[in-house]
C-alpha cells in the first residue's frame, strides 16, 4: 500500500453492496477512509480491520452526519431503498455544506425520472436536483439492476434452478455492486471532470431473463429457466415475506419500467472511468457459486405441486442444459 495523499473520504452505506468495495479500494490506494455504518457488526469490523475509521450513525440524523463529515474532502452518498431518501439528502447536503466538503458521488438509479411512479425513483431524481444546487462537485450514478438481483431472487430445488420475476421480455445489462465501486473510487479521487455529470452504469452484456437464465445455467452446469410472473404475484410474494410497503411500491413500478425498456442499454463507463472490466453474469455466478446452492432470500415460490415440488413448472420447459430462448 502506498500513501497517496492525506485526503479523507466518507463512505456511507459502507457495509452495503457498493460502499464496502469503494471503501476497500480507497484504502488500498492509500487514502484515509471514514466508513459510516448503521450498526456495529461483522461487516463494520471487517472495514475497521482493513484500516477504515468506522463511525456508527443514522443518515437521517443531522448530528450523526455532521460529525461524520468533519474534515472530509469527498463523500459517497448512498441511501438504501427505504423511506426517507429526501430527508437524508437534505440532511447530507446541509451538513456537507457546513463542513466544506468539496465533492459528492451520489447513488441514484436508472429509473430516476421526474415522472417516475415509483416513489423511490422519483425521489432519487429530486435528490439529484437538490445536490446539483449545492456548491459541491456532484456526480450522480444511475445503475441498471445489479447482478446481485439474480442471487436474491434465485430458486433452487435439487439439480435445477429458476428465476421467477415480473420482467416479461425486457432487457438489461446486469452490473455488479463491486464493479460500480471502481467508478465511485475514481470519481472521489478526481472529481473535477465529473462535476454535474449523470452516469448510467451498465454491465457488459444486455440480455433478457431467458438469456440470464442461460448464463446462470452455463456457470452452474444445471438447467435453469426463467419463469415470467405477473407484477401482482411478485408483489404478493414480497408482501408474504414481510417486505416493507415502500420497497413493494418501488419494485412493482420499476418492474413496469423494466418491461418498457427503462433499464436497457450498455456502455463502457466502468472501464473508462473505473479502469475495470466489469463481470459478466457467468463470472459473477462462478465467483458466488455457494449462493446458488439454495433459494435466494427473495425467492417467490410458485404454488407447490401435490408432491411439494415445482418440477412440473420448470422441467417441461427445459431442453438439455441450456433451455432455448423463447
Ligand atoms: N439493487 C439494485 O439493483 C439497484 C439498482 C440501481 C440503483 N440502486 C440504488 O442503490 C442504492 C443502494 O446501494 P447498495 O446496494 O450499495 O446498498 P445496500 O446494499 O442496500 O446497503 C445499504 C447500506 O445503507 C445502510 N443503511 C441503511 N439505512 C441507513 C440509515 N438510516 N443510516 C445509515 N446507514 C443506513 C445499511 O446498513 P444496515 O444493513 O446495517 O442497515 C447498508 O450498509 C439505493 O439507493 C438504490 O436505489 C440499486
User: Residue 114: what pLDDT?
Assistant: 98
- What are the grid coordinates assigned to 64, written together? 450523526
Q: How far is residue 253's CA from residue 118's CA, in Å, rounded to a whole number?
A: 5
Q: Could you tell me if the CB of 246 is within 6 A of ligand 1?
A: no
The number of C-alpha atoms within 13 Å of 200 and in the hemisphere containing its C-beta is 18
Residue position matching grid coordinates 458521488: 105
Q: Could you tell me if the CB of 177 is within 6 A of ligand 1?
A: yes
Q: How far is residue 50's CA from residue 311's CA, in Å, rounded to a whole number?
A: 45
Ligand 1 binding pocket mutation candidate from 14, 18, 80 (most atoms within 8 A of CB)? 80
- Tell me the CA–centroid distance for residue 107 and ligand 1, in Å: 9
Q: Could you tell me if the CB of 59 is within 6 A of ligand 1?
A: yes
Tell how far CA 37 is from the center of its chain.
17
What per-residue string of b and e applies to 224-239 under the rule 16 or more CB within 10 Å gives b? bbbbbbebeebbebbe
Phi-psi region of 84 (alpha: psi -120 to 50; beta: other; left: phi over 0): left
Domains, in order of start, for the chain: 8-145+175-201 (3.40.50.720)
Q: Whose CA is nearest to atom 12 of ligand 1?
A: 80
Q: How far is residue 236's CA from residue 165's CA, in Å, rounded to a whole number?
A: 12
Instruction: Determine the atom of ligand 1 nearest the C-alpha atom of 120.
Output: 47
Q: Nearest 5°: phi and psi at 74?
A: -140, 150
Instruction: Determine the atom of ligand 1 nearest the C-alpha atom of 18.
Output: 16
* pLDDT tens by residue, 280-311: 999 999 999 999 999 999 998 887 666 665 55
Q: How far is residue 163's CA from residue 326's CA, in Å, rounded to a whole number?
A: 15
| CA-wise closest residue to 25 among 215, 187, 253, 239 | 187
What does pLDDT average to in each consecutive run of 10 residues of the chain (326 residues)?
76 98 97 98 98 98 98 98 98 98 98 98 98 98 98 95 98 98 98 98 98 98 97 96 97 98 98 98 98 96 69 39 30
Please report the DSSP string for 85-143 in residue order.
Answer: HHHHHHHHHHHHHHHT--EEEEE--TT--TT-SSHHHHHHHHHHHHHHTSSSEEEEEEE
Question: CA–CA distance from 223 to each of 99, 290, 311, 321, 323 (Å)?
Answer: 54, 17, 11, 5, 7
pTM tops 0.85, yes or no: yes
Helix (H, G, I), strand (E, B) or coil at 312: helix
* pLDDT tens by residue, 39-60: 999 999 999 999 999 999 999 9
Q: How far is residue 283's CA from residue 205's CA, in Å, rounded to a whole number?
A: 12
User: Residue 308: what pLDDT?
Assistant: 61
Q: Could you tell me if the CB of 15 is within 6 A of ligand 1?
A: yes
- Tell me the CA–centroid distance for residue 81 and ligand 1, in Å: 6
Instruction: Determine the atom of ligand 1 nearest the C-alpha atom of 84.
Output: 31
Ligand 1 binding pocket mutation candidate from 11, 13, 68 (most atoms within 8 A of CB)? 13
- Which neighbouring-strand residues pair with 155? 162
Tell how far CA 274 is from the center of its chain.
16
Asked whether the beta carbons of 20 and 48 are under 8 A apart, the reply is no
- Tell me the CA–centroid distance for residue 13 and ligand 1, in Å: 6
DSSP classification of residue 196: T
* Rounded-to-5 percentages of helix, strand, coil across the chain: 40, 15, 40
User: Residue 305: what pLDDT?
Assistant: 65
Amino acid at each position: 500500500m502506498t500513501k497517496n495523499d492525506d485526503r479523507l473520504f466518507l463512505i456511507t452505506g459502507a457495509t452495503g453492496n457498493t460502499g464496502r468495495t469503494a471503501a476497500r479500494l480507497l484504502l488500498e490506494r492509500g487514502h484515509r477512509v471514514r466508513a459510516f455504518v448503521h450498526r456495529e457488526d461483522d461487516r463494520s469490523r471487517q472495514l475497521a480491520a482493513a484500516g477504515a475509521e468506522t463511525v456508527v450513525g443514522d443518515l437521517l440524523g443531522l448530528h450523526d452526519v455532521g460529525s461524520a463529515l468533519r474534515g472530509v474532502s469527498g463523500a459517497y452518498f448512498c441511501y438504501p431503498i427505504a423511506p426517507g431518501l429526501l430527508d437524508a439528502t437534505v440532511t447530507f447536503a446541509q451538513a456537507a455544506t457546513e463542513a466544506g466538503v468539496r465533492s459528492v458521488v451520489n447513488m441514484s438509479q436508472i429509473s430516476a425520472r421526474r415522472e417516475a411512479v415509483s416513489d423511490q425513483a422519483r425521489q432519487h431524481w429530486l435528490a439529484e436536483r437538490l445536490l446539483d444546487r449545492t456548491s459541491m462537485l456532484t456526480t450522480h450514478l444511475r445503475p441498471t439492476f445489479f447482478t446481485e438481483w439474480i442471487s436474491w431472487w434465485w430458486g433452487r430445488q435439487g439439480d435445477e434452478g429458476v428465476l421467477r420475476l415480473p420482467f416479461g421480455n425486457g432487457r438489461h445489462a446486469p452490473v455488479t455492486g463491486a464493479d460500480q465501486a471502481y467508478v465511485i473510487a475514481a470519481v472521489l479521487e478526481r472529481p473535477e471532470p465529473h462535476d454535474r455529470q449523470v452516469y448510467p452504469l451498465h454491465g457488459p452484456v444486455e440480455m433478457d431473463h431467458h438469456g440470464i437464465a442461460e448464463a446462470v445455467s452455463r456457470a452452474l452446469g444445471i438447467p435453469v429457466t426463467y419463469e415470467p410472473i405477473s407484477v401482482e404475484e411478485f408483489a404478493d410474494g414480497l408482501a408474504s415475506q414481510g417486505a416493507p410497503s415502500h420497497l413493494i411500491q418501488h419494485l412493482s413500478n420499476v418492474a413496469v419500467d423494466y418491461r418498457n425498456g427503462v433499464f436497457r442499454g450498455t456502455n463502457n463507463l466502468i472501464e473508462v472511468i473505473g479502469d475495470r472490466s466489469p463481470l459478466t453474469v457467468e463470472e459473477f455466478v462462478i465467483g458466488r457459486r455457494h449462493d446458488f446452492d439454495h433459494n435466494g432470500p427473495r425467492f417467490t415460490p410458485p404454488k407447490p405441486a401435490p408432491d411439494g415440488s415445482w418440477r412440473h413448472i420448470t422441467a417441461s420447459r427445459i431442453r438439455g442444459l441450456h433451455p432455448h430462448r423463447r
